[in-house]
C-alpha cells in the first residue's frame, strides 16, 4: 500500500546528525552491519553488575554511553527526560552526536562513560505507565477476520476508528526474559463445557511500541498537528497471545487473560528525530473513506508513514542446541499500517483522556499485504490448519515450549545510513501447575 513510497521527499527535521558521512571514534559504530551507528542514538536503560540502580544510556555500536557520566544529563530518571520539550530533546541529540564524532573535544569524557553492551543488563527503556494495544494493520485484521467471519472479515468500523483496548502494563517484560505458557479456560466447539489447562495455541505478535513523551492534561485532547510532539520514539514489541483462551473469552468485552500474561519490549527506543529520513506520505487505498477531520492533517498526509522493515525469527530448542540461529518466518513494513502514530495519539485523547510520559501504545500485529508477510502464527499457519516445516525438519502451527521468538527491525534509504532497533527476544517456558503457582 504505502511501503514503497520512498522516492518522495522525507519529512522535515533533517539536520547534521543524519549526515551519512558522519563517523564515530567508537569503531564498532562505523561498521555497515551495526544497528547503532552515530546517526541513530537510541535511548534505553541499563545497569552494571551489582548496582541496583538503572542508568540512562544511548546505544553506539556495541557500546552504551552512560549519559549522566558523560555529563550531558543530570538525572537518571528516563520518564523525566522523556517529558522534555521536543526542541530540548533535539538539542540533547545534537550534544550526544557531537561528543561521539571523530575529532570531538569531549572524546576523553565520553570514552570514560562507555560500557560494552555485553557487560551490562538492559531493562525496560522507562517506567511503563498505562498500556493500550491498537489494531493498525488492515492486512492482519482482514486475514484474521476471514478465519473468524468469512462472510464479513473486516468489521464496518475498522476504516473509521483506530481500534484498541487497554492492556496490562505490569506484565510487560524486557527483551531476553522467558515466560511461562499461560493456563486458562478453553472450550472446544463440540464440548458441552469449558476445560482448564495450559494454552495449546500460543502465538506471537509482531508489533512496534510507541512510547509517549509529554503528557496532556485531563480533558485536553491532543490535535493531530501536535501529536508527534507527545511521542518519544518507537521500540520493538511482542504481544504474546493465547489464541485458544482468547477465542473463548473475548466476547463481549475483548481480550483479557489471553493477552495479559506477558508482553516483551525491546530495550532501545529509536526516537522520531532519528527516523526523520525514513518518513513517507501517508494515504489510503483508492476508494477507502478519508478519515474524519480530527484524524487528518497536512503533515500526516505528507510524511505520516515510517518505512521500517520488520522481521520475525524463530529459534526452536533443538536449533539452539545445534547452534542454529533460527529461521526467518516473515518480513513486513510499518509503512503499510492503516493508522499512523499521530492518529493513534489524537484518537486516544479526543475524549479528554490524559496520557503520561512512559505510557505505551502497541501498534497491533504488523502484517504485510501478502500471505507470507503475516505477523503472527495464526496467519502463517491459517489458524493451525496448515503447519509449516522449518529448515531443520521441525514443524510448527503454534509455539512449543523452548521456542524463542526474535523480532528485528531496521530502516534503509538510499543516501542515508542504515539504522536498526536491535532485537526483541523472548522464550516460551513450560506452564506451571496450580500448586507450583501457589505461594
Task: Give the residue numbers marked as catalytic.
Answer: 140
CA angle at 107 for the pair 104 and 108, rounded to the nearest 5°: 145
Spatial CB neighbours of 162, under 8 Å, sequence gap ≥ 6: 134, 135, 136, 295, 339, 343, 344, 347, 348
For 170, the 3-state DSSP assignment is coil
**Residue 101 DSSP symbol:** B
333 close to 308: Cβ distance less than 8 angstroms: yes
DSSP code per residue over 36-67 = --TTT--EEEEE-TT--S-EEEEEETTEEEET
- Residue 252, preceding bond cis, omega within 30 degrees? yes
Neighbour count for residue 394 (Cβ, 10 Å): 17
In 3D space, the residue among 113, 117, 105, 159 whose CA is nearest the CA of residue 137 turns out to be 159
Spatial CB neighbours of 200, under 8 Å, sequence gap ≥ 6: 186, 244, 398
Half-sphere exposure of 35 (CA within 13 A, CB side): 21
300 close to 282: Cβ distance less than 8 angstroms: yes
185 close to 208: Cβ distance less than 8 angstroms: no
208 close to 137: Cβ distance less than 8 angstroms: no
CA distance 50 to 241: 34
Torsions phi, psi of 17, nearest 5?
-70, -15
CA distance 194 to 341: 39
In 3D space, the residue among 21, 94, 26, 93 whose CA is nearest the CA of residue 61 turns out to be 26
Tell me the Cα Rg of the chain. Answer: 22
CA distance 343 to 290: 13
CA distance 143 to 378: 9
CA distance 357 to 37: 27
Amino acid at each position: 500500500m504505502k511501503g514503497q513510497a520512498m522516492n518522495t521527499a522525507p519529512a522535515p527535521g533533517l539536520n547534521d546528525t543524519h549526515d551519512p558521512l558522519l563517523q564515530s571514534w567508537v569503531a564498532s559504530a562505523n561498521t555497515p552491519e551495526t544497528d547503532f551507528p552515530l546517526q541513530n542514538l537510541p535511548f534505553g536503560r541499563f545497569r552494571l553488575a551489582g548496582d541496583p540502580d538503572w542508568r540512562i544510556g544511548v546505544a553506539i555500536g556495541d557500546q552504551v554511553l552512560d549519559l549522566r557520566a558523560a555529563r550531558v544529563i543530570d538525572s537518571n530518571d528516563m520518564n523525566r527526560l522523556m517529558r522534555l520539550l521536543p526542541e530540548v530533546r533535539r538539542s540533547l541529540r545534537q550534544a550526544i552526536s557531537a561528543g561521539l564524532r571523530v575529532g570531538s573535544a569531549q572524546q576523553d569524557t565520553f570514552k570514560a562513560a562507555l560500557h560494552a553492551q555485553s557487560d551490562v543488563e538492559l531493562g525496560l527503556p522507562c517506567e511503563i505507565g498505562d498500556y493500550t494495544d491498537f489494531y493498525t494493520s488492515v492486512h492482519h485484521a482482514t486475514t484474521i477476520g476471514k478465519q473468524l467471519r468469512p462472510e464479513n472479515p473486516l468489521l464496518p468500523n475498522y476504516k473509521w476508528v483506530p481500534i484498541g483496548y487497554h492492556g496490562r502494563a505490569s506484565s510487560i517484560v524486557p527483551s531476553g526474559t522467558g515466560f511461562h505458557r499461560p493456563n486458562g479456560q478453553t472450550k472446544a466447539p463440540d464440548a458441552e463445557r469449558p476445560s482448564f489447562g495450559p494454552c495449546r495455541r500460543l502465538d506471537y505478535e509482531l508489533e512496534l511500541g510507541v512510547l509517549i513523551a509529554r503528557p496532556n492534561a485531563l480533558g485536553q485532547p491532543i490535535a493531530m498537528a501536535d501529536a508527534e510532539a507527545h511521542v518519544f520514539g518507537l521500540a520493538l514489541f511482542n504481544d504474546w497471545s493465547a489464541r485458544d483462551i482468547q477465542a473463548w473469552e473475548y466476547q463481549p468485552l475483548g481480550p483479557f487473560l489471553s493477552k495479559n500474561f506477558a508482553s516483551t519490549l525491546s530495550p532501545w527506543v529509536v526516537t522520531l528525530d532519528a527516523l526523520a529520513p525514513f518518513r513517507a506520505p501517508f494515504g489510503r487505498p483508492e476508494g477507502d473513506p478519508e478519515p474524519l477531520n480530527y484524524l487528518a492533517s497536512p503533515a500526516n498526509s505528507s510524511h505520516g508513514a515510517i518505512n521500517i522493515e520488520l522481521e520475525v525469527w524463530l529459534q526452536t530448542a533443538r536449533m539452539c542446541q545445534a547452534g542454529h540461529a533460527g529461521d526467518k518466518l516473515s518480513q513486513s513494513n510499518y509503512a503499510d499500517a492503516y493508522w499512523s502514530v499521530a492518529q493513534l495519539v489524537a484518537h486516544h485523547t479526543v475524549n479528554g483522556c490524559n496520557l503520561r510520559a512512559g505510557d505505551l501504545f502497541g501498534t497491533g500485529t504488523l502484517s504485510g499485504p501478502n500471505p507470507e508477510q503475516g505477523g503472527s502464527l495464526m496467519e502463517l499457519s491459517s489458524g493451525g490448519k496448515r503447519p509449516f516445516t522449518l529448515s531443520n525438519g521441525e514443524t510448527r502451527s503454534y509455539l512449543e515450549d523452548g521456542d524463542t521468538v526474535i523480532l528485528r527491525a531496521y530502516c534503509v534509504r538510499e543516501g542515508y545510513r542504515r539504522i536498526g532497533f536491535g532485537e526483541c527476544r523472548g522464550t516460551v517456558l513450560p506452564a506451571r501447575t496450580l500448586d507450583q503457582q501457589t505461594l
